[in-house]
Amino acid sequence: MYRIFYAEKDTTLYEKKPEQNSGADQILELTKIASSSRLNDVVQPNTYNSRILIDFGTEITTLTNEIADGNIPAIGSSPTSASVYLNLHASDASDILRSYSIEAYPISESWENGNGTVSDTPITKIGASWLYKSGDAVALGGVGWATGSAASRGTSQGALEPMGGGTWHTASGYTAVQAFENQSPDLKIDVTNIVNNWVSGSAKQITNNGFIIKRPYADEISGETLGSLKFFGRESHTIYVPRLEVCWDDAEISTTLSEISSNTYVPYIKNIKSEYRKWETANFRIGARPEFPTKTYTTSSFYLTSNILPKSSSYAIIDSVTNETIIPFTEIDNNFSNSKTKISADTVGSYFKLRMDNFMPDRYYKIMLKCERTADVQTFDDFYFKVVN
């Protein structure tokens, strides 16, 4: 089962433009300009990085309430727990290394999103920037980040100005890392421990102020030019806005019905509708019949035959226009943590449940079914629906 939560605010902090707010930018950027490198034919005197702030705000409150109500399992690493992933979809990547890592930490202070963009002239200073978590100067009511440990250039901006760059928790359980090795720059980072420390009520509980996304400190202060990673932000007006995926295994096989035995068969969804309201939870009932049934005398339709899909079957949800995978297939590798979209079966037949508030409204989506048996994998994708408000 999947629940998807969307970011409520995000911005990029630019060390090169330490008072610049970019809270209204459509793009979030991780960039590194190394000292002595050239930018626009100018040799740079210092090293400059950028970092990304993302906050899911009241969505985390909703998650906490859903856990308390029993609609979502507790967050954790046990087979019965839910896992959480932070997803950012890359819009561009240039001059990046073959191997690199991206880190996520929980932000330790509240911050103001602002409504500036990196291209503003004059610059917009109200809102979070490299130097300030709100405002643009102490004299104008601006509030600096609490510590200077986050800066990479190693020098203060002045007696009244902090070194900036954001502040975050770094103790055990507050760190998430994704390593990349010559692969897509899309970010899907396991933040289960961080989110658990927001919602669990344990001794390690911290206030939710969102995530800071950054390169490892050793990379930030190195002499290498690490290029630029750009991700779609919440202002991008696309389906690629930052999101949290909360997923858990709710599959249950509680039936004496037989798997369909034919090598060639046709699944069909008995109760699919053309449209679903965003507040609905659909229970898709799946039947299966032989593609080429053996001719025989019968008094009932093959559509009434109660066969279930192979027990390792799973589903995926695809945006029908962009072909982006919104909810992925289960991987058949005996890894329980990957068993999030297995198809269930009961005395009526195969089925799976899907919450429509996972999806952006006024878009069409495609259901894909992957049916797996030993040495036999078949996919089917001729099932469409629309989500509306």
Q: Give the count of beta carbons closer than 10 Å to the beta carbon of residue 147.
A: 16
The CA distance from 204 to 198, in Å, is 9
How much is the pLDDT for 293?
Answer: 61
pLDDT digits (tens), the chain, 389 positions: 999 999 999 999 999 898 999 999 999 999 988 776 776 667 777 788 999 999 999 999 999 999 999 999 999 888 889 999 999 999 999 888 889 999 999 998 999 999 999 999 898 889 999 989 987 766 677 888 876 444 333 344 444 444 688 989 888 888 999 999 988 999 999 999 999 999 987 767 889 999 999 999 889 888 887 889 999 999 998 889 999 999 998 888 888 888 888 888 889 999 999 999 999 999 999 998 887 766 655 655 555 557 899 988 999 999 999 999 999 987 644 443 456 899 999 999 999 999 999 999 999 999 999 998 877 889 999 999 999 99
Crossing angle of helices 192-199/58-68, nearest 10°?
A: 80
The CA distance from 197 to 178, in Å, is 19
How much is the pLDDT for 373?
Answer: 83
User: What is the pTM for the complete model shown?
Assistant: 0.88
How much is the pLDDT for 330?
Answer: 76
The CA distance from 11 to 3, in Å, is 24
- In the chain, what are the domains? 2-247 (no CATH), 265-388 (2.60.40)
